[in-house]
Structure 1
Amino acid sequence: MSFNVIDTERQDWARGWAALKKFTERELHARVPYGHREGATPLGQWVAEQRRAYGAGQMTGQRARRLEQLGMVWSVADERFQENLEAARAYYEQFWSLCAPRSATALSRPVGQWLSNLRRPGALDGHPDWETALKEIDEHWNPSWPADWQRHYAALRELVRDESHADIVLPGVTVHGMDIGKWLARQRQHTTWTSLMDRQRELLEAIGVTPLPPEQKTPAKPPKAVSGAFEKGVAALAQYKAREGHLKAPRGHTETIVVGGQEHTVKLGVFLSNTKSRRAKLTPERLAALAALGLEWAA
């Protein structure tokens, strides 16, 4: 009597591999739906079992290599991430930011909703490589500030990329439907600028954006008696500081003030230069008036 030992497990694996090969040659990928049958072979279930065995360390290296030659994907989640990442990269090339609106699409994929889901707390736990891949495309893909702010900033950054300053972007300049000029003017306002995070201000300053002087809550009042040249000079200086936020008037600058309903032109730059050079001869009252406006040399 003789016996033939039949290794049914090896035969089943060979049949499964052959069915997967047939599937990949036809479909050009190895992403088999779980319920799919290839002829009489429940191929979807067989592929799922191979993934389980691979993850549990129960698969030989030879079998793993043979499956990988057919394009076997061990982690479906990783594969889907890579596919969506390609769509995200395409979106960034067009819009310069990964802070996409939820409705945004790219390569026929809902990339906006996908990115929004990944920004949720804990969404990337256990996937540090995913976050690294996203940061390689856009360092600020998940900023600490609103995504809408980052979209506007990215558009402004591209507008001034080859310019020396951002002053050329005026209200009415739009990009992708966003009024970047209007947004920029709002960022430069003192109240908005001071409310930004340090990193936001650093990003704006890096492309040449500076804040406007703080607004004067109440306009500076000229001295009650504005009769002589000195008093008019002080009034003009107070008016200049209220408007410009500083006292560094150029020597050739003139300032027009209204006194008693009449306009008077004051050579403010000359006034500042002359009073500073003659400060030793000024009365204590006049020095006090100049010091009150912030002239350190008069204090």
Structure 2
Amino acid sequence: MVRLGWVSSPQSTLSALKGGVSTEESDENLDRLAAEGVVGSINLGSWATRQLTRWKALEDGQRQLVAALDLTPAPSTLTPRPATRRTFAETVQFLELFLHRERRAPAARKASTVDGDTVKIGPWFAKMRTKHRAGQLDPEHERLVAALFEGDWTAKDPAPAFA
């Protein structure tokens, strides 16, 4: 079975999605959901996009549940996200913006939105600290991150260099 982001069951995902989409004006609602729709822990826009862009990989029962919401690939205006990756330097710039705004290092689960782009800066920073401690971080990457902090940036509460 292909895992496509159904929550605990297709029915619970369907129920959450029904709360965010009315069948009237569905294109307008889908556009809104694609930008902001979150119910509980489910990002409905992302979920709907995954279902519609991978329609052929869905099982019959999944397709029927999605179709019951009047969501089918033919009328959908949703497109998959481009698979572009940020460079290390770009992510360091996001970290710098976060440090300037928050005046502290990001917590391990912290996400930040910059120009409409959500960056999971906390998990990224935690991963870089782990890589550094294990001796797996490229020296140039280490230099870029270290320049943003006073002292040891892998300490428990590293202080930004400009705080």
TM-score, normalising length from structure 2? 0.37
Structure with greater contact order relative to length (CA < 8 Å, sep ≥ 6): 2
Larger radius of gyration between Structure 1 and Structure 2: 1
Which structure shows the higher helix fraction? 1
TM-score, normalising length from structure 1? 0.21
